[in-house]
Amino acid sequence: MSFETGFLDLMPATVTRNAFTKRANDGYGGPSFSTAVSSYRARVVQSPLLIQNAQGMEVVVTHTAWLATTASIQPEDKITYLGSTYQIQEIGRFPDDQGGHHTRLRLRG
């Protein structure tokens, strides 16, 4: 069994992403998202964790998701897992000896 096969065996779930496109200019400033959905193989673990987000605030995340992708996921994107939508609080990108390998998301429901 190769490393990649073993790594992917740890990712039995699928998450989807709707990319953030812009803030509405209707006076309310609500977000707009792409209608295109990207799916990624993932491992999602529900485990509360206190982190410091990109704005420097301490928040409790509810899930950690490791994704088999190096796609350009942004904090404003929507992540859906098992019918629930989550806010991204932290993004980690991890390389191997050949470059980008996988992405870790800290999520808050």
**Domain containing residue 49: CATH number:** 2.40.10
| Dihedral pair phi/psi, residue 42, rounded to 5° | -150, 165
23 pLDDT higher than 60:
yes
Segments forming the whole domain that contains residue 9: 3-21+30-108
Q: What is the spatial distance between Cα 1 and Cα 4, in angstroms, rounded to a whole number?
A: 8
> What is the model's pLDDT at position 7?
80
Eight-class DSSP state of 29: -
How many percent of the chain have pLDDT more than 70?
A: 93
pTM of the model: 0.84
Least confident window among 4-13, 21-30, 46-55, 91-100: 21-30
pLDDT the model gives residue 26? 65
pLDDT confidence of residue 1: 46
Read off the tokens for 100.
């980008």
